[in-house]
Amino acid sequence: MDCDFLIIGGGIAGISAAARLSALGSVVVLEGEDSLAHHASGRSAALFEPRYGAPAVVGLSLASEAYFRTAEGILSPRGLMIVAKADEQAAFEVDLAAMEFTRISVAEARDVVPILNPDSVAFAGLADHAWDIDTDRLIQGFAREARARGAQILTKAKVTGIVKDGAGWRVSSPAGEWAAGMIINAAGAWVDLVAEMAGIRPLGFQPMRRSMARIPAPGGLDVSRWPMVFGAAEGWYAKPDAGALIVSPAEEHPMDPHDAWADDMVLAEGLARYEEMVTEPVTRVISNWAGLRTFSPDRVLVIGPDQADPTFFWLGGQGGYGFQSCPAASQLVADLINGCTPALEAGLVAALSPTRFG
């Protein structure tokens, strides 16, 4: 046996799991791209807002907060604002309650983000419980932890074949063939395809494209202290990034797994929704890109052994919540595989289990 645990996927899910599992046995991580975190993990909005998502996602994110608080240099203050037009009040009220914003006046909102248009912004809310995540530092920290315990993390190692025999799993890739006692399927948008390759019933994951554009700081202003700004019902968002703004249409378009790119028309529509709420027009786009946020059928992460074969372990459906939930998610992986009582409460563990899909 070459390793106890073979992890397919070198995004934040796979690398954080590698760090935890390296304390329990030998680990190999296979990542098909030239570098770690190439796909969804490398194209994240990089925000820790633990009240964002379905209840089970919120529970997992809140359980991750202690890790972020004690990890040096991972979080930095950002804050979050929501703005809405007069005809978006119903959606605004839902978001205000769900994400625990404080209602503020439009004038107060403009004191924080001076480009907001008082002729179109009718409602605003502000929260300070949102922080930027240094995603590269987080990934590299988990990778160092795994490697320090002997884990092998291989890039350019796309999985080409998976076979189960009496001795366990045999996984083929350009980096070689590996015999493993357990597979951890952390393959992001390809999670169902990996399952099919292994002869495991897929669970119905759906990759969804989300596009982003980087634009110059509006009006040449210093945007570094601005919060991330959402439109009602997440119709768009804007976030300061390295002296510029990232603006997203926040779309969810079903896609097949692939190396995603932005759709020009969707991006233009999103930029128009953003421009409607501000006084400074978009004069140029510095760059654009897209990522695939992959969801399970109920939009909650799937963490646990497959019902038919417990040596095939699901770690998928991060759906844009991968970074903010990874400390608790990876600890749950280790707890379940080690046979320990999970640190998470039983109802949350059940809500994340693949057994919920029958």
Domains of the chain: 3-46+134-205+297-357 (3.50.50.60), 80-127+207-295 (3.30.9.10)
Q: What length does the chain have?
A: 358
3-state secondary structure of 113: coil
Which residues 6+ apart lie within 8 Å of 149 measured at CB? 22, 23, 27
pLDDT average, residue stretch 336-355: 97
Cα dihedral sign, 28-314-339-55: positive
Which residues 6+ apart lie within 8 Å of 194 measured at CB? 8, 159, 162, 185, 187
pLDDT tier for residue 42 given thresholds of 50, 70 and 90: low
* First vs last C-alpha separation in the chain: 32
Residue range 281-306, pLDDT digits in tens: 999 999 999 999 999 999 999 999 99
Question: Which residue type, as a one-letter code, is found at position 294?
Answer: T
Strand ranges (E), the chain? 3-8, 27-30, 47-48, 75-77, 80-84, 102-104, 123-127, 131-133, 152-154, 161-165, 168-173, 176-185, 206-216, 228-231, 237-241, 244-248, 253-254, 287-295, 302-305, 312-316
Whole-model pTM: value is: 0.95
Residue range 230-285, pLDDT digits in tens: 999 999 999 999 999 999 999 999 999 999 999 999 999 999 999 999 999 999 99
pLDDT average, residue stretch 133-144: 95
- In the predicted structure, residue 204 carries a pLDDT above the cut 90: yes
Helix 322-338 vs helix 12-21: angle between axes, to the nearest 10 degrees?
Answer: 30
Residue range 103-138, pLDDT digits in tens: 999 999 999 999 999 999 999 999 999 999 999 999
Strand ranges (E), 296-353? 302-305, 312-316
Distance CA 253, CA 240 (A): 24
Considering only CA atoms, which of 47, 56, 17, 44 is closest in space to residue 300? 56
Q: What is the per-residue pLDDT for 43?
A: 62
Distance CA 358, CA 351 (A): 13
Which residues 6+ apart lie within 8 Å of 78 measured at CB? 47, 130, 131, 132, 227, 228, 239, 240
Q: What is the per-residue pLDDT for 137?
A: 94
